[in-house]
Copies of this chain bind each other. A is one copy, B any other.
Amino acid sequence: MDEPANQQQQAPTPSPQQAPPVQHAPAHHAQHTDQSARTDGNVVYIGKKSVMGYVLAVVTQFNGGAPEIHIKARGKLISRAVDVAEIVRHRFLPEVKLGKIAIKTEEMDSEDGTKTKVSAIEITLER
């Protein structure tokens, strides 16, 4: 809907580990490629589609018998992942419980070949 392009500023240094304390790249649209809601085993990757598209993907996988679903997102899309988990739990599948929530830092390749750090989240929902 509202996503123009998806790479962001170049990192000031390509050296990954001893980078100076600049903040993480804004990563406005750091999503995994998706045309339809991408699922992969029991993983739902949050991209630029609407929240309800991912809610549907999660509900469909649970209804297909999946015992747990991992919702993954990066950058600005992390908040959408939380929305998806909350809407699934509160509106559609009240029997589903929150499992582990993990956060980490991933490196992405920028268009100019440098590396950019971006935060990521993985939310596990368990039936």
User: Which A residues are within 8 Å of any B CB, using their own CB?
Assistant: 21, 23-24, 27, 50-52, 55, 75-79, 82-83, 85-87, 90-92, 98, 101-105, 119, 121, 123
Contacts and interface: CB of A to CB of B under 8 A. Distances in A.
Number of copies: 2
Contact of A101 (B27, B83, B103): B103
B103 A24 contact: no
Instruction: List 3 tightest A-B contacts by C-beta distance, closest first.
Output: A78-B79, A101-B101, A23-B51
A86 B104 contact: yes
B123 A83 contact: no
A82 B23 contact: no
A53 to B, nearest CB: 10
Contacts of A51: 23-24
A102 B119 CA distance: 17
A21 B87 contact: yes
A78 B103 CA distance: 12
A108 B104 CA distance: 29
Given A23-B50, A24-B51, A92-B21, A103 B85 contact: yes
